[in-house]
Every structure is written in structure tokens, then in C-alpha cells.
């Protein structure tokens, strides 16, 4: 067993109550997160494995790009680049499913601008939140995600029962973390402006 620090949002005033908890080592579909890992090291390590970049335009292309069940044929990792001009304004009101390859490779979602509501439904996703508009990431039962919130960015997380999430928060990163009972969320970094509470599934 490995002991690590889990941020349990228990207080009614929205602050974290921290406690040590024993848990099995977590390997996210073959992509383990080291104890000393940082936001930049996780992202750079993923990019070094070789990426097949997609920069979709419009809702249909975005939905298709974020579904990567079979993975890239050459063994590369798909990176989907989302910007403020990726979608029309009305398109941000819907969820986009994120599906990682069934072979254990992650899908990289690089949110550089705009407001996106992403739902990781299966596989493993590495989501980099670097949009000034704020975004929402939901992780479904059985799915895993590594969420990297860049400095001074806003990102809200919903971890559903049965999901596993590694959250890395940059300086002045902020957002609300909704963690259902049965979800495993390990939060690291600058958590002063992150808030949330426990919700029973």
C-alpha cells in the first residue's frame, strides 16, 4: 500500500479538509503518475511519445476528434487542440464526450481557449485547461483522467462514482470540485482557490 495525500472536500464552507489515506498504487491505463510529477512534466512526457494533432472546426468535427476508441494507426497519441474559434457560441452549451483508445494510450485534450464542457466517458484522457473562459470536465464511471489546470485558469471538475482523477492545479488556479462517493481524486499543487464538497452518489 502507498500512502498519499487525498484532498477531501468535507467542510460546509467550501474548504478542503486534508487527511492521509492508504490506497493502492494507481496506474491510469498504463500511464502512472509519479509522486513528484508536475503539470509541465506530464504534458511534455506525453508529447514526446509522438502526437497526431487535430484542430477541429465546428461541432461535428470536434465530436469526432474527441472520440479516439481505436487510437492512431502509427502508435501515436492523438492531441485535440481546442480554441476560442473552434465552435460557434451556441455550441458551448452541449457536452462533448471524450473517448480514449481501448489499448491504454491516452487522448490529449489541449484547451487553449473557449468554453467547453467535456465528459470523459471511457479510456484515459489528459486534459490541459489553459483557457481564460473556464471549462467543465466530467469523468464517468470506469474512466480515468489527468487534469492539468494552468496558472490563473478556472476549471470545474465532476468526478462520478467509479472514476479515477489526478488533478494538478497551477498558481491561482480555481474551480469547484464535485466528487461523488466512490470516486478517487488525488489533488496536487496550488489548491488554495479550489473548493468543493462530497456528494453521495
Least confident of 10-14, 41-45, 64-68: 10-14
* 26 within a domain of the structure (yes/no): no
* 182 within a domain of the structure (yes/no): yes
* 1 within a domain of the structure (yes/no): no
pLDDT band at 13 (very low <50, low <70, confident <90, very high): low
* 13 within a domain of the structure (yes/no): no
**Is 55:27 a contact under the CB 8 Å cutoff?**
no
- Total domains in the chain come to 1
Please state, in angstroms and as integers, the Cα–Cα distance from residue 151 to each residue in 53, 94, 105, 136, 175, following that order: 24, 26, 27, 16, 12
Question: Would the pTM of this model clear 0.85, i.e. be above it?
Answer: no
Residue-number span of the structural domain to which 139 is assigned? 54-196
* 42 within a domain of the structure (yes/no): no
CA distance 64 to 169: 28
**All three cell numbers of 20:** 492521509
| Per-residue pLDDT tens over the stretch 39-61 | 677 777 878 878 899 999 999 99
For the chain, what is the mean pLDDT? 80
* 27 within a domain of the structure (yes/no): no
139, β-bridge pairs: 120, 159
In this structure, the chain runs to a length of 201
* 36 within a domain of the structure (yes/no): no
* 4 within a domain of the structure (yes/no): no
CA distance 144 to 139: 7
Amino acid at each position: 500500500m502507498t500512502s498519499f495525500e487525498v484532498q477531501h472536500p468535507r467542510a460546509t464552507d467550501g474548504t478542503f479538509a486534508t487527511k492521509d489515506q492508504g490506497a493502492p498504487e494507481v496506474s491510469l491505463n498504463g500511464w502512472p503518475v509519479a509522486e513528484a510529477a508536475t503539470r509541465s512534466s506530464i504534458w511534455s512526457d506525453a508529447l514526446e511519445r509522438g502526437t497526431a494533432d487535430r484542430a477541429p472546426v465546428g461541432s461535428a468535427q470536434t465530436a469526432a476528434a474527441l472520440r479516439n476508441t481505436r487510437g492512431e494507426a502509427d502508435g501515436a497519441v492523438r492531441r485535440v487542440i481546442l480554441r476560442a474559434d473552434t465552435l460557434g457560441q451556441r455550441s458551448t452549451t452541449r457536452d462533448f464526450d471524450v473517448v480514449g483508445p481501448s489499448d491504454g494510450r491516452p487522448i490529449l485534450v489541449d484547451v487553449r481557449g473557449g468554453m467547453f464542457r467535456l465528459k470523459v466517458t471511457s479510456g484515459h484522457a489528459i486534459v490541459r485547461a489553459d483557457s481564460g473562459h473556464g471549462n467543465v470536465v466530467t469523468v464517468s464511471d470506469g474512466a480515468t483522467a489527468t487534469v492539468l489546470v494552468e496558472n490563473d485558469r478556472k476549471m470545474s471538475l465532476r468526478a462520478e462514482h467509479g472514476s479515477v482523477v489526478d488533478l494538478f492545479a497551477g498558481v491561482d488556479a480555481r474551480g469547484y470540485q464535485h466528487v461523488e462517493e466512490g470516486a478517487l481524486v488525488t489533488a496536487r499543487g496550488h489548491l488554495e482557490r479550489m473548493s468543493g464538497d462530497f456528494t453521495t452518489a
